[in-house]
Each structure stands twice: as structure tokens, then as C-alpha cells.
Structure 1
Amino acid sequence: MPDWFTDSYLGIEVRQYIGLGALVAVTIVTYAAISTALRIYVRVRFEAADHAFWHGERARLGRSLWALAVAITLLLGFPALDFPQVAEDIVEQLASLLGAVALVMLGFRGVDIFTDVLARRAALTDSRFDDQLVPLLNTALKILTLIIGMLFILGNLGVNVTSLVAGLGLGGLAVALAAQDTFRNLLGGVTIFADRPFQVGDWVVVGSIEGTVEHVGFRSSRVRTFYNSVVTVPNARIVDTHVDNMGLRQWRRYRATLGLAYHTTPDQVQAFVEGVRAVIRANPEMRKDYYIVEFTEFGASSLEVLLYCFIDAPDWNAELRTRHVLNLDIMRLAEELGVEFAFPTQTLHVASMPGQPAEVPEAPARDQLGETVERFAPAGAGGQRTDQPITAGYDNTPDGT
């Protein structure tokens, strides 16, 4: 070895400077090797459509990979440079700490990548339970990674991890007493996950909150209301109150009162009622085995027809589209039959003008009144019979009434 190898500058020998330069070169080579191996693995393991995703992830992993490469190089190569023992101990501690932090960061990115792949696969399935499971799995794995990383770091710093874990018993009791609400929310999240009263995307009513579930977490769940605001509800509150899951309805009820103008004739009313029944039966999104369309009441300003039916729709948007089509068909039916829909009105009848006698309609004779009543009696033919419909097949509801 040449004598100048042992020359010292700033307390460091030339050979040690050369060794440090070699460590830098080895670090660069190590990083390049890890990056190349990852790139080759992605090309072989995944389809071309996923390459762009992995290219972006590799860029995000760059800092963590650099830190890991530096830590590995220092741990393996620095002792060979014959620095003082104190310096070696300090570098070893720092390298171990840097490596642990890098591994935790890589673990976090690995969890994100893993759950992102699961989320994309879950989006291709019909079930929404797996979509709800992915965020919970992401949080649980990150917490586990952080705990393991912290224990590893504390162990490298000389902390007795076994005694620390044992001492957490009494401290954990104190923390539990101080954070009862937090633990109640965590248990509520586990209960929601186990019982599945709702899933992401369901339309729910929780107390006074109504909207679509966007996220179910360990501590709370988020509901987007129909005002487009987001309400964060603690899981403990959800578990302790009633939850009305509108998204699990087998059928969606549609109830409306159709008001017809008072000048509508009885035959027109009967034809309109039977026509609405025909419209319901013709619509593929309507329930066919149970519906009610009947002339039920003489209203203050209209002849009221009750429409009571059920829609087969997976969500609110589909329900509204079906209502839209049904209402338009009813409007077209009324137009074809010459039936007008009523609106609140008041009619003023002037009995007589000033200076003119009042015109009082002549009442039928007593005998004529009696004959009219008899025409509507069981033996007469003046009333509407269930066997006298306007059409054939739409004269009654599905239960035969």
C-alpha cells in the first residue's frame, strides 16, 4: 500500500476517503439494481395496461429506495473503513434508523399499491362489500406496519421493547379510560363491518341524516346528502340508532293522486282508470302482481284517482327515470281520452242579475226521482258494474277486486 494512502486530511486518511467514494458508487449501483429488478418484474408479471400505473409508483418509491440503498451500504461497508469505534457506532445507529424509516415508507407504499390493485378488481364485481373492505384493509395494514417499524426503531435505539410492551398494560388501561369514545367508535366500525347494515353506495337514513354512503372507516362513516354536502357520522352513533337502508328495498313505492276535472264524464273516468292500469302493465320496470288504480274521492276541486304502484329500480336515479316514463304515458293517455287534469279553482255562480228574476232549475217530479233511484238499485242498470268495464282485461286490479 503506498504511503500516501495513510496520509490524513481533516482527521480522515486518504484510503478512507477512497472507501467513502466507493460506498457512494456502491449505493448508486445498489439503487440501480433494485430499480431495474422492479422494472423487469413489472414487465414480466403485469399486463401492458398496468405499466403506466407501475411507472408512476416506481417514481414515488424513488426516495424510499434511495434511503434503503444508503442504509444497506453503510451497514455493510462502513465497518471496513477502520473508522474509530465511536464513529462506527454512530453511523450504525443512524443507518439502522434510516433503514427502518425507509422500510416503513416502503411498507406504506406497498400497502397502497396492494389495496389499489384490490380496489380496481373490486370495482369489476357486482358486490359492493369488497369496495367497502378495501379502505379498512388499507388502514389496518398501515397501522400494523407502523407498529412493527416503531418497535424495530426503538429496539435499535437501545430501548428494551419487551419491558415497554409489558408496561403498556397499566398505561393502556389509563389510555382506554381517557379515550372511551374513540374505542366505542372503533368497535362500532367493527360491528358495521360484521353486520353490514349498509354498504358503500347505499341510500340510508340515519336519524336526521339522509344520503348516500361514500366511505366506511374504523372511526366514522361519511354520508353525502342530497344537498351535496358530506356528513361524517361516528360509528358508535350509527350502531346505537336505527338505520333505514333505502337501497335494500325490493320495490320502490310510487303513490300519487291524479285529480281530474269535474266535467269529466263517468265513462271517461272509468276509461282513464283502466288505461292507467294498462300503462303499468306495459312498463317493464313496474311490479305487475300488485298495484292499485281507483277513483277514490270527490275532492274540493277534482275527481281524485289513487295511483299506488311499485317500481323495480336499483337506485334513485333509475326510480326517477321510471317515474318520468310512467307520468308521460299517463299524460298521453289523458290527452287521447280527452281527460283534463284539475287544479284548485273556485266557480262563482250568479243567481240573477239586478232587476231580473232568479233562474231556478226545475226539479224532477217525485215519480221521476223514484224511477232514477230504482235504476241504480240491484235490479236496475244505471250503475257501474264490475262486469261492465270500458275495456277487456284492465277492469280490475291484480288481486281480482
Structure 2
Amino acid sequence: MIQNSLRLRWIKRGNSQSASLLRPLANFTRVMLVALAVLIWLEHLGFDASTILAGLGIGGIAVALASKQSIENFIGTITLYSSAPIKVGNIGRFGSITGTVEEIGLRCTRIRTIDRSVINVPNARLSEMDIENISEREKIRLKTDIRLDYQTSTEQIHHIIDDIRCLLEQHDKVEESPLRVTFKGFGLYGLQLNVFAYIGTTDFAEFQLVSEELHFGIMNVVSKHGSRIVPVVPVAATQA
């Protein structure tokens, strides 16, 4: 009851990281209290507590050697909480895994993948992974290559570049800088233009809508100036 009350209070204060650690710490405290109660009970039965503790000390060495992985996971947990590369609720890439962090426990971290499955990653392993915290980005990059028909003239290319740049500059979601529209060079199947800009949102769904709007606008610009976008591989080649 007290545990749930504290957890809800910390979540309301925005301290979800501490809230996720509350359950494993409560379990650890419960085990220690039970162990202490057992020692007191044994003393009442006439056993010598110091002898028992000495025996536990020798046994503890053997247990520590046998539980090397658990100790490594605990150290990994300390590393995750001290450096805080991720927090509960963050979306990120963890090696080959992409998903949302649901809980950071004492032994492992629970991640909900895009496919809605749950993966429990040992903290010792997670602390050594390359972690990309997608939730921490303040904007999303838009980068696309356009291939124009080789029949496109130099004058047409200049007009297309200018109009695409204007399209980006006039959109309220596109960051002013860096913003580039350049003639990249001569590709195998077409004249290559490169479009690079940042969309001022952290919401990927919103980014997709803005990206779609801009790509439709680019298609209209190319069509307006009498050129056309060619595929990476000619249709005839794919059918051969």
C-alpha cells in the first residue's frame, strides 16, 4: 500500500526513474528484514548469532562466486542510474532492439518493442550496448535524394532547386538552418539533387505528415518545370 502510494506520488512529480526502482528496492528490503527476523528467532532458540553470521560469511563467498552474473547486472544497474542514458518511457535503439523502456529493475530492463513484444535485457549487457535515445532528440532530420531525367536542362535544374528551397523555407515546421538543396552530381540513372533539413518536432507521426507534404510539394515543383523524377533502377531493367 505504502509502496504504491509512493510510486504514484513520484510519477506525478515526474520522477518515473525513481518510481521504477521502488519495487526492486522494496523486495530487497523485505528480504533483509526477513533475514534479520530469522536471526533474532534463532537467538531466542539458543543459537549463537555471531557463529551463524561467521558461517554465512564463508558461505557468502561461495554464493558471490556462483552469482557473478547477478553482481554484474547490479553494477550495470548502478551505471544506468548514475549516467542515466535512458529513463522509463523513453523510446530508443539498444543494439538491434528498438522499443520503449517500461522498467529499469535491479537485474534487467524491460523494453516493449515496436511489435508490442516484451524483451528483458540484463543490465550488465545493456550498459555495454550502443544506446540511441530517440526521445531525447529535439528535432528530426529530413534527408532525401531526387533523381531527375537526364533531359533536364541546366536552367530547369536551377529553377527546381530554387523552388524546392522556397518550399522548405516557407513551411512553418522546417528549421531555418541547416537547410540545403544542392545539385549532387551525375548518377547512373539520373541527375541527383540532395535535400537536407530539420523538422521542428519530436513526434514521429507529425514528422511523417510534414515529410509527406514536402515530398508532394517537391513532385509538383519538378512537374511544374517540365522535368520528371526517375527511379533508382529503370523499370525495363527490373522486368528483365
Identity, % of aligned pairs? Answer: 27
| Equivalent in the alignment of 1:225 | 113
| Equivalent in the alignment of 1:234 | 122
Q: Could you tell me the TM-score, scaled by structure 2's length? A: 0.81
Matched, 1:264 2:152: yes
**Structure 2 CA distance for partners of 1:145 and 1:199, relative to 1, 3 Å:** same
Deviations 1:203-255 (A, max 9, x none): 33333333332221111112233333322211111223332334333443322
**Structure 2 CA distance for partners of 1:251 and 1:113, relative to 1, 3 Å:** closer
Matched, 1:147 2:32: yes
List aligned pairs for 1:63-78, cutoff 5 A: none
| Equivalent in the alignment of 1:184 | 72
Deviations 1:108-139 (A, max 9, x none): x32123213333x14xx4xxxx2122020222
Structure in which a larger fraction of residues adopt helix: 1
Q: What is the alpha-carbon distance in structure 1 between the residues aligned to residue 167 and residue 83 of structure 2? A: 40
Question: Higher Cα Rg: structure 1 or 2?
Answer: 1
**Relative contact order, higher structure (CA 8 A, sep 6+):** 2
| Equivalent in the alignment of 2:18 | 133
Q: What is the alpha-carbon distance in structure 2 between the residues aligned to residue 214 and residue 315 of structure 1? A: 19
On the 8 A contact 1:224/1:230 being kept in 2, the answer is: yes
> Cα RMSD between the aligned structures?
2.7
Q: What is the alpha-carbon distance in structure 2 between the residues aligned to residue 345 and residue 188 of structure 1? A: 51
Structure in which a larger fraction of residues adopt strand: 2
| Equivalent in the alignment of 1:314 | 202
| Equivalent in the alignment of 2:143 | 255
Q: Give the unaligned 5+ runs of structure 1.
A: 1-108, 348-401
Matched, 1:282 2:163: no
AA aligned opposite 1:141: A
| Deviation for aligned residue 1:268 | 2.7
AA aligned opposite 1:202: N
Matched, 1:169 2:77: no
SS of match in other structure, 1:240: coil
Q: What is the alpha-carbon distance in structure 2 between the residues aligned to residue 272 and residue 176 of structure 1? A: 68
On the 8 A contact 2:39/2:49 being kept in 1, the answer is: no
Q: What is the alpha-carbon distance in structure 2 between the residues aligned to residue 247 and residue 139 of structure 1? A: 25
On the 8 A contact 1:290/1:309 being kept in 2, the answer is: yes
Q: Could you tell me the TM-score, scaled by structure 1's length? A: 0.51
On the 8 A contact 1:202/1:213 being kept in 2, the answer is: yes
| Paired positions, count | 232
